[in-house]
Amino acid sequence: MTAPALHLAGRLHSGETTLIDAFDLKLPAEQWSVLLGPSGVGKTSLLRLIAALPSAARLDGDITACDGAPIASRVAMMAQDDQLLPWASALDNVTICARLRGERPRPDRAKTLLAQVGLADLAARKPSHLSAGQRQRVALARTLYEDRAIVLLDEPFSALDAMTRHTMQDLAARLLAGRTVVLITHDPAEAVRLADCAWVLTRAGIAPCTLPPDIPPARQRPLPRSPYRRRCCKGCA
Ligand SMILES: Nc1ncnc2c1ncn2[C@@H]1O[C@H](COP(=O)(O)OP(=O)(O)OP(=O)(O)O)[C@@H](O)[C@H]1O
């Protein structure tokens, strides 16, 4: 699988309003590009346009893959909300896209991914019986199951506690190595951990953002002290 660089150029509009003024952005192949910016600036809209999905915004410009091949068929996108089917189990939600395409699902692969996101015991649960963070991890497993060259992640870890978030970041960094990943986050620490390169989106345009040099992601940082660790009988952690 070859993951292409993406070229995004133009202006982003919502009706008569300019959301993001002229930009010309190259998201490198096989790397994690992180998009940061204030709420409402147009990050999700831009991500949906990359995936050729209906978007709240209109791009006067172009989104192309640098190898010249179509993008949409090579994309897996994880939306901000989990978008799980309420009547399907966690396991069936992971394989839903394959089944909708008429492909034979691979339950073993789905079970492995559910185990990797820490939900091996909850594969039969419906979304209404999962927490928001558990639903978000099912959605992550579904995105990873797709095994696409281009992966678009819209705040994929936002519902997770600090420890689980750290573990899921590591998992995603490992399983998506070699893919062209675009990650939206509001968490600067997450950007610093995961990004090969990062940009800040504002109304005036899109500007590159400086990262720690020469340390490959996922960059390690001290783990937060878990508030969930059992205390011993003397009360120490
Ligand atoms: N369904 C919609 N109909 C009309 N306008 C919309 C719709 N969804 C979003 N917008 C508008 O489009 C603009 C861009 O929204 P978008 O969701 O892309 O922003 P964002 O940067 O991803 O925000 P956030 O960080 O809060 O998720 C916003 O000004 C928003 O009000």
Whose CA is closest to atom 9 on ligand 1?
Answer: 56
* Topology (CATH level 3) of domain 6-219: Rossmann fold (3.40.50)
- What pLDDT shows up at residue 114? 98
ipTM of the assembly?
0.95
pLDDT at 221: 58
pLDDT of residue 156: 97
How far, in Å, from the CA of 133 to the mean position of ligand 1? Answer: 23
pLDDT of residue 1: 76
CA distance 175 to 169: 10
Which residues in the chain show pLDDT less than 70? Answer: 212-237
Whole-number Å distance, alpha carbon 39 to ligand 1 midpoint, is 8
Model confidence pLDDT, tens digit, residues 106-121: 999 999 999 999 999 9
Residue 234 is predicted with a pLDDT of 39
| Protein residue with least CA distance to atom 1, ligand 1 | 56
Domain residue ranges of the chain, discontinuous segments joined by +: 6-219
In this prediction, residue 210 carries a pLDDT of 79
Integer Cα distance of 58 and 12 in angstroms: 6
The order of strands in the sheet holding 6-14 is 17-27, 6-14, 58-65
CA distance 197 to 139: 25
Structural contact between residues 208 and 177, judged by C-beta atoms closer than 8 angstroms: no
- Residue 157 to residue 116: CA distance in whole angstroms: 15
* Ligand 1 center–CA 44 separation, angstroms: 7
Token pair belonging to 236:
């120490």
Q: Nearest 5°: phi and psi at 206?
A: -125, 125
Nearest Cα residue to atom 31 of ligand 1: 40
Exposure string over 63-79, b if 16+ CB within 10 A, otherwise e: bbbeeeeebeebbbbbb
